[in-house]
Amino acid sequence: MRAAAVFPATKTLGIVPDFPEPRITSPKGVKLRILQVGVCGTDREIASFVYGTPPEGYEYLVLGHEAFGEVVEVGAAVTEFRPGDLAIPMVRRPCVAPECVACRMDRSDFCMTAEYTERGIMRLHGFMTEYVVEEARYLSPVPASLREVGVLVEPLTIAEKALLEAVRVQSRLPWDFAAYEHQAVVLGAGPVGLLGAMALRHRGYAVTVYSLDREPNRAADIVQAIGGKYYSSQDVTVEQLVAAVGAIDLVYEATGAANLAFEVLRALGPNGLFVLTGVPGRHGTTEFDTDAILLNMVLKNQCLLGTVNAGKDAFELAVADLAAFDGKWPAALRGLITGRFAMEDFAEPVLRPAGIKNIIEIGR
């Protein structure tokens, strides 16, 4: 069968025509026919050879971690899936260190050794191929009604994990946090930012998305469709943003732009929580008034939280939320998918991303 891969030694991308079709080898194995695979900045980094490692013994790495497929076969001990079910695989697999408390309880998203593996990224082949076999515990069921948008579950899990943590962090406040309306600012209008904006709106936050592109653009239209506000950083300064929003209770950062993050951190409101999800590139150093930032954080009881990857709880919540978004904002949700490509053309959206979310269509 075919698989889309990167070849680090020759710094090339290509289709492996004879990638072996996997077989179920354990009683809890599940074989998936891949329907769609989303492309994101991580794939671009891997394809630019700044990140990513092939499995041992391979000179290539099969790409793809945002996958979605249909169950075609299950092992003898699998009771939670049947052929015909839709399922989404998790990305990260635990390290083997006995002392890693997180991995030993199957929460490799909090791995303490950084020796974890990740499908399509780190020492495990990815999902940009026709069939994969996965242990049932790394799969979450997706209802048939989400067949058109199931590929968005994985990028949504970033926000779901962040918001699960946000609820726990803000439970430090000695009143019922859920009883008041809160102001959230989302930095970045890519898929992670927009799905985060939807998750926040769905929880009743007033949402403002702050991003580079000027209106009109598709991301701004989606923000308006879900009842949020959109400002371009080319027209509105951070000071003007804060003047328009008022006290910011939560910032969901999804750009990886460190300068912007610190500028907005300085503008965070009392008791506010700032959540970092973007992975910054290395752009050199900048000067910042660190005293002012720390002073604010102390005097305003603020929290700064970094978060990466997602556990099973976030995957299950993402599936449930995606169904809710589909009920509330079907056009906006579908509008996130702006490019569809055949497997043979995978290099195009990986190397030259345009629009919001590009996907590779593999099965039907």
Q: Site residues (CB under 5 A) for Zn ion?
A: 40, 42, 66, 95, 100, 103, 111, 113
**Encoded tokens for 84:** 């015909």
Given the complex with Zn ion, which of 156 and 185 has the nearer CB atom?
156
Given the complex with Zn ion, which of 31 and 119 has the nearer CB atom?
119
We find the least distance from the C-beta atom of residue 179 to Zn ion, in angstroms, to be 35
Contact 198, 164 (CB under 8 A): no
We find the least distance from the C-beta atom of residue 24 to Zn ion, in angstroms, to be 26
Contact 118, 90 (CB under 8 A): no
Given the complex with Zn ion, which of 187 and 264 has the nearer CB atom?
187
Given the complex with Zn ion, which of 108 and 296 has the nearer CB atom?
108
Given the complex with Zn ion, which of 78 and 219 has the nearer CB atom?
219
We find the least distance from the C-beta atom of residue 163 to Zn ion, in angstroms, to be 18
We find the least distance from the C-beta atom of residue 350 to Zn ion, in angstroms, to be 11
We find the least distance from the C-beta atom of residue 89 to Zn ion, in angstroms, to be 13
We find the least distance from the C-beta atom of residue 107 to Zn ion, in angstroms, to be 9
Please report how the helices 312-328 and 191-202 are oriented relative to each other, as an axis angle in degrees rounded to 10.
80
Given the complex with Zn ion, which of 53 and 232 has the nearer CB atom?
53
